[in-house]
Structure 1
Amino acid sequence: MGRDHRRGVQRCWWRRTPGGIVAWASGGPGRDDDAPVDRELEGIYSPARVHGSGVGQLLLDAVIADSPAYLWVLDGNARAEAFYRRNGFRRDGAEREHAVAGIPRTTVRMVRS
């Protein structure tokens, strides 16, 4: 795994294989004015071909370990929500709208205290 601090985030990790980088995660201080805890999981991504391999868990552990944290996830992304629930995150009722590829989407906040 690698780490990059140049992006202005506290931690950015990726998983490299002989074929290149297959997944990444980043986190740092919460960016929201109403942040429920101090740390935010800003993003995590792995392609479907590595789902279930443990790469996502490895990255989540590297970025936030077992610290209290919050994150935003697209409403209806059942696979991601299940992953976060297994790691102690729960929806806190906060929602926000933003465009993804020009399409309005709802994201929901999940928190681990």
Structure 2
Amino acid sequence: MSGPLVRPMTADDCEHVSDIRVRGWRTAYRGLMPQSYLDGLDVAEDAERRRALFARTPVGMVNLVAEDDDGKVVGWACHGPYRDGGSLNEDAELYALYVDAARFGIGRALLQESVRGCAEAGQGRMLLWVVEGNARARRFYEWAGFRADGAEEPFEVAGAVVPEVRYARDLTG
């Protein structure tokens, strides 16, 4: 195979996605969020939540997974309409992108497929939120043509305020 197989997620993928997501949080957010919160993340609980969310996926939300040559799920991305203060608008939003850190090219393949799908759907921009201190993710998105647009928003994790910055990319060019 020349690269990972990117395909629509199924309910059977929830456990794998949760494992990748929890490991991703523990790695990417170490030092940026309370360690007690990261240590308390549970794959089984996350998978249960993910199955419930997957069963009622809103219209327009797309979940993708990437498989390696052996058919193992090694990445997950989710995108859909941009959530602007509880309402939706014409832009797209990348809600999540997590990969097995030991793999190369998985994030790129998932992001490219998300961007392609949103552009084909006629969405003019893709936006995403990234934790301000996550330098690795910020470099990745900048490499992919996203730019911080000046919007910032904090969210709370276990009593700690975690600042996020918004990135945007034009999909019409």
TM-score by length of 1: 0.82
Give the drift of 1:111: 0.6
| Residues in 1 aligned to 2:102 and 2:111: alpha-carbon distance in whole angstroms | 18
Q: 2:148 aligns with which of 91, 98, 109?
A: 91
Give the drift of 1:4: 3.6
Pair 1:44 & 2:101 matched:
no
TM-score by length of 2: 0.56
Change beyond 3 A, Cα 1:12–1:54: same
Q: Could you tell me the percent identity over the aligned residues?
A: 36
| Residues in 2 aligned to 1:89 and 1:76: alpha-carbon distance in whole angstroms | 17
| Residues in 2 aligned to 1:35 and 1:95: alpha-carbon distance in whole angstroms | 19
| Residues in 2 aligned to 1:93 and 1:36: alpha-carbon distance in whole angstroms | 19
**Most deviating of 11-20 and 33-42:** 33-42
Change beyond 3 A, Cα 1:35–1:91: farther
Corresponding residue number in structure 2 for 1:60: 111
Q: Check conservation: 2:75, 2:100, Cα contact below 8 A.
A: yes
Change beyond 3 A, Cα 1:100–1:22: farther
Q: Check conservation: 1:2, 1:13, Cα contact below 8 A.
A: yes
Pair 1:27 & 2:79 matched:
yes
Structure 2 unaligned residues grouped into runs of 5+: 1-5, 11-53, 120-124
| Greater percentage in strand | 1
SS in 2 for 1:69: strand
| Greater percentage in helix | 2
**Most deviating of 31-40 and 83-92:** 31-40
Q: Check conservation: 2:81, 2:89, Cα contact below 8 A.
A: no
Aligned residue-pair number:
111
Pair 1:74 & 2:127 matched:
no
Q: Check conservation: 1:37, 1:70, Cα contact below 8 A.
A: no
Q: Tell me how large the CA RMSD over aligned residues is.
A: 2.5
Pair 1:3 & 2:8 matched:
yes
SS in 1 for 2:136: helix
Larger radius of gyration: 2
Structure 1 unaligned residues grouped into runs of 5+: none
Q: Check conservation: 2:154, 2:161, Cα contact below 8 A.
A: yes
